[in-house]
Amino acid sequence: MDDTDNIKSRASLDEIHSLLDALPHAVYECDTDGRIQFHNRAYSEITGYSSEEISGMHVWDFQVRGPGCDELPGFLKQLASEQPDPEPYCCRNLTKDGRIIDVQVDWKYKRDLSGEVTGFACILSDVTERMQSERILRQGEEALRESEQRFRNLVRLMPEIVFETDPGGMITFTNENAYDVLGYSQMDLEAGVNALDFIVPEHRDRAKANLGRVMAGEDIGVSEYEVLNSDGSRVPVLIRTSRRVENGKLTGLCGVIVAISERKRMEDDLRQALSDKDLLISEIHHRVKNNLLIIQSLLRLQSGGIEDETSREYLLASEDRIRVISMIHERLYRSGDPRGLDAKEYIEALAGQLYRRYKANSDVIRLEVDVSVDRIDVDTAIPCGLIISELLTNSLKHAFPDGREGTVYIALKHQKDGQSLLSVRDTGVGLSDDLDIEQADTLGMKIVSTLSRQLRGTIDVERLGGVWVRVSFREKRFS
């Protein structure tokens, strides 16, 4: 080749280099030892080195040192002997100002006329932002996997059954507790089972309707069903479900199942215990009533052998008091609820019994009962009954002498201040002005006064137009 050809070749090469300098991509050439033989302006800009500084440098001089970097020269030699052109690769380069950048190298072999590889022609791209995004994405994916793993670990430890289904109701996920509660293996459930298949037949239509409501977006709260165990037994459960929506699309259901066999057993035990307790209380009332009847009979027999009228009356009055208590226990025994009794029915029955005991003519001595209290407990019924008995007995014996007509009023009402008011009033001859009921010597009045204090109440007596005794006490609400 003469000098003219050399000049033309050099001019052509310079023209090519000028074109490469104009490219926005970093371009360089190196021999098989990695020594840089050519680079364009973009390569200097990326690395931060001047053309003079780059001359004589090797490609690995720019790379961040780390494990395997010492093997790069041998790697290039080996690569030059392989076919076809090498695949693009990414590495991290260190710029002159100390920045670390991610780069991608796309390269092809340079060959001489004999076809032997003499070096590499490379395009270097700054992919720092892309690699950073990919690293962030990988970190996010890793964090998501870790979060999902933590979630699954927590779900695995939950004592409840956690499940997911597809839109058709086929189970796509359950935690391990499902195997223990339902008796199925993981293989059974992964084989494809519809959630409704676990519901007992008589609950299935209701469950299907409820799942449809949930799919439509309704929150139906907690539902109780029975599900079938693999051995055919039934397990009572509570189920709460909600929709799974991803990217605005319904993907199925998720939910929690709580087995309540133990709770049901405890509820049954509690109901039985309460039933046993009520039965025991009822039996106690029955036994107390029978014992009181025996005492009544003994007093009646005893009174029959006493000639002194006053003494006999004392015994009969005691029998009346015992009868009041016996009547309460009799009614509590026969009541559906042995804790309390119907107040109006009890007071009317008590008054009727006393009317018969003293042979009072109801056409002459009328009785009016006004009770607004529905039910009273035994602790209130006994003192109230005895107070009514003493006051009504006193009215029947002393308020209407010589066939005098009149009326006896008995009332038990709630007051606005939370008190209850028991009142017994007659239109008879009344009491003497100097009689203090709380200081009276008679046993009956002492009983009334004592029982009023037992109720933690106050007693008030009005003498106009007969006798009106009022006992106000803090009521014990029946529950």
Residues 451-469: tens digit of each pLDDT: 888 888 888 888 877 889 9
- Please return the burial class of 325, using the count of CB atoms within 10 Å of its CB with bins 0-12, 13-18 and 19+: buried
3-state secondary structure the chain: CCHHHHHHHHHHHHHHHHHHHHCCCEEEEEECCCEEEEECHHHHHHHCCCHHHHCCCEHHHCECCCCCHHHHHHHHHHHHCCCCCCCCEEEEEECCCCCEEEEEEEEEEEECCCCCEEEEEEEEEECHHHHHHHHHHHHHHHHHHHHHHHHHHHHHHCCCEEEEECCCCEEEEECCHHHHHHCCCHHHHHCCCEHHHHECHHHHHHHHHHHHHHHCCCCCCEEEEEEECCCCCEEEEEEEEEEEEECCEEEEEEEEEEECHHHHHHHHHHHHHHHHHHHHHHHHHHHHHHHHHHHHHHHHHHHHCCCCHHHHHHHHHHHHHHHHHHHHHHHHHHCCCCCEEEHHHHHHHHHHHHHHHCCCCCCCEEEEEEECCCEEEHHHHHHHHHHHHHHHHHHHHHHCHHHCCEEEEEEEEECCCCEEEEEEEECCCCCCCCCCHHHCCCHHHHHHHHHHHHCCCEEEEECCCCEEEEEEEECCCCC
What percent of the chain is modeled with pLDDT above 70?
A: 83
pLDDT given at position 3: 55
Phi/psi-derived region of residue 278, left when phi > 0, alpha when psi is between -120 and 50, beta in every other case: alpha
CA angle 151, 154, 160 (to 5 degrees): 120
**Beta strands 365-371; 406-414: pairing state:** parallel
Largest CA distance in the chain: 171
Can you give the pLDDT at residue 5?
A: 54
Q: Specify the pLDDT at position 68.
A: 45
Q: What is the tens place of the pLDDT at every residue in 28-72? A: 998 888 899 889 999 999 899 998 998 889 888 888 865 544 556
Q: pTM of the predicted model, to two decimals? A: 0.46
Q: Mind listing the pLDDT tens digit of every residue in the chain (479 residues)? A: 555 555 555 556 667 767 778 788 899 998 888 899 889 999 999 899 998 998 889 888 888 865 544 556 666 766 666 667 778 888 888 899 989 888 888 888 888 888 888 888 889 988 888 888 888 888 878 887 877 777 776 666 667 788 888 888 888 888 877 777 777 777 777 667 888 888 898 999 998 898 888 888 888 888 888 888 878 888 888 888 888 888 888 888 888 888 887 777 887 777 776 666 667 666 776 777 777 777 777 777 777 777 777 777 777 777 778 888 788 777 777 766 666 788 898 889 888 888 888 888 878 889 899 998 888 888 888 888 889 888 888 888 888 888 889 999 999 998 887 788 999 999 988 776 655 555 556 677 788 888 888 888 888 888 877 889 999 988 665 55
Whether residue 350 contacts residue 330, with contact meaning beta carbons closer than 8 Å, is answered with no
